[in-house]
Chain A
Amino acid sequence: MSLRLYFSVNPNKNHNSLAIIESLSYNNISKGFMMKKAPRFLNLFKIKLPLPAIVSISHRISGVVLSASLIWVAYTLYFLKVCNQYSWQWLTSHPAWYLSGYLILAAFFFHMCSGIRHIWDDFHHTHTLNAAMIGSRYVILISVLLTLLFMLTRWAVS
């Protein structure tokens, strides 16, 4: 009965063509069809995410980046604790230091803004795609503005 049901659904008629399905491979014949119903090899480059989804996955990525950036923060704090004037100048003028600082700053403000949007979503204020789209546009705009504002500290210091 279930086999008959399976043959009525052709996995090759995959209309959005997101997945590459190996329907007639050696494994299917040897292990049986029922094991291989789910599409296995998703082609991630063919998936076009809408803007709210991009903001959502970037929230996660920036969170991982920020949790790794604790090492940067601890290194800078340690440097501030022990260094003298010249080594402080060396550190703050080192491109690896301030470029990663820009990256961490941008990740922090993006994570903050999209996290506020997540809380907003948790309380069910985004019912429609339009509201989610507007919210994610505001997230990007405000985080870019905050990042640019605090990137001014570079010129304020020098």
Chain B
Amino acid sequence: MNLVTLIWNYRRKGLNDWVSQRFSVIFPIIYVLAVMCYALVGPNLDDWRSYIFSFPMRILGTLAALSVVWHIKIGLWVVVSDYIPRGFLRFASTIAVYVYVWLMLVLFVYLYWSS
């Protein structure tokens, strides 16, 4: 195994991934159920805005974004390494997954906490 393969595929710390992928679903589930149960009430635009950008929902949304990004990072790595053979293509798609995921995290933090 050369060094690049060693770095990008090396010990994925399987137990760490397993545990974090299963515990990272808690905040997204709480957030989605909170939002959808609020949607059952039938709010208008101002209600939505004051609900989604209230302080507790910002905290919960940021935690949900962080958790879901971690979950997606592991899940898409599994999918990529299952279906794409070793080589440049897997290397590039792994990097694409990481870039997508961290860009999404930055975007959500910006959307919640700007202004």
Binding site for B on A (CB under 8 A): 60, 63-64, 66-67, 70, 74, 77-78, 80-81, 83, 85, 88, 105, 108, 112, 115, 119, 122, 150, 152-153, 156-157
Majority-rule SS of A interface residues: helix
Q: Could you tell me the distance between the alpha carbons of A115 and B41 in the complex, rounded to whole angstroms?
A: 28
Q: Is the CB of A150 within 8 A of B40?
A: yes
Q: Taking the complex as formed, is B48 at the interface, i.e. its CB lies under 8 A from any CB of chain A?
A: yes
Q: Taking the complex as formed, is B79 at the interface, i.e. its CB lies under 8 A from any CB of chain A?
A: yes
Residues of B within 8 Å of A156, CB to CB, are 39-42
Q: Given the known A-B contacts A74-B111, A150-B39, A156-B42, are A63 and B79 also in contact in the complex, defined by CB atoms under 8 Å?
A: yes
Find residues 16-70 in chain B having any chain A CB closer than 8 Å to their own CB.
22, 25, 29, 32, 36, 39-43, 45, 48-49, 52-53, 68
Majority-rule SS of B interface residues: helix
Q: Is the CB of A77 within 8 A of B52?
A: yes
Q: Given the known A-B contacts A85-B45, A119-B22, are A64 and B36 also in contact in the complex, defined by CB atoms under 8 Å?
A: no
Q: Is the CB of A153 within 8 A of B40?
A: yes
Q: Is the CB of B72 within 8 A of A67?
A: yes
Partner of A88, one of B25, B45, B108: B45
Residues of B within 8 Å of A81, CB to CB, are 49, 53, 111
Residues of B within 8 Å of A108, CB to CB, are 32
Q: Is the CB of B29 within 8 A of A60?
A: no
Closest B residue to A71 by beta carbon equals: B104
Q: Could you tell me the distance between the alpha carbons of A77 and B51 in the complex, rounded to whole angstroms?
A: 12
Q: Is the CB of A60 within 8 A of B79?
A: yes
Other A-B pairs beyond A112-B29, A122-B22, A153-B40, 14, CB < 8 Å: A64-B76, A67-B75, A70-B108, A74-B104, A80-B52, A81-B49, A81-B111, A83-B45, A115-B25, A119-B22, A150-B40, A152-B40, A156-B40, A156-B42
List of 8 A-B pairs having minimum Cβ-Cβ separation, nearest first: A153-B39, A156-B42, A67-B72, A88-B45, A150-B36, A70-B104, A77-B111, A63-B75
